[in-house]
Structure 1
Amino acid sequence: MTQAQRLIELANTLPEAALAEVVDFAEFVAQKQARATAVEPLEHLIGSLKEDPAFANCDPLAVQNEMRNEWVR
């Protein structure tokens, strides 16, 4: 028996109020799933600024340390 079949069987035994909770939860899970798949992966951005002229004479570690130090001040 599949999970969908189990859910249908259980849903047929529930009172209307409890079934409404199940529907609400299922909609929540569906929305969560949709958001998770809609997020664009950022891997394609890795290294994209490496050859940018604005960062040609910058030490990446120094920039990173400077950014971190802004929070300490």
Structure 2
Amino acid sequence: MPKKQKYPHLLNSKWTSQKKIDGWRHFRVINRKNQSKWVYAEMVAACDPEVRFWINAQLLKDRSQWEAGWLSLREMHGGD
């Protein structure tokens, strides 16, 4: 039986950073790689494809840094 893949829905998922990264908050996962026991996601800014970086996918679970989906500042901070 094949080993269950960690983060099976990672590719093409959308994320909002709590803090701006290179001037942007909204990112999409365009690639993934497994390195020993870690899974990494390549993130690209929604509005600037030149802004891209690799991140440990486990960090995306940290709600103090990332929110799933593309959220407005109002949605992120519990406004109406």
TM-score bracket for the superposition, by shorter chain length: under 0.3
Bigger Rg over Cα: 1
TM-score normalised by L of structure 2: 0.22
Identify the structure with bigger relative contact order (alpha carbons < 8 Å, sequence gap 6+).
2
TM-score normalised by L of structure 1: 0.23
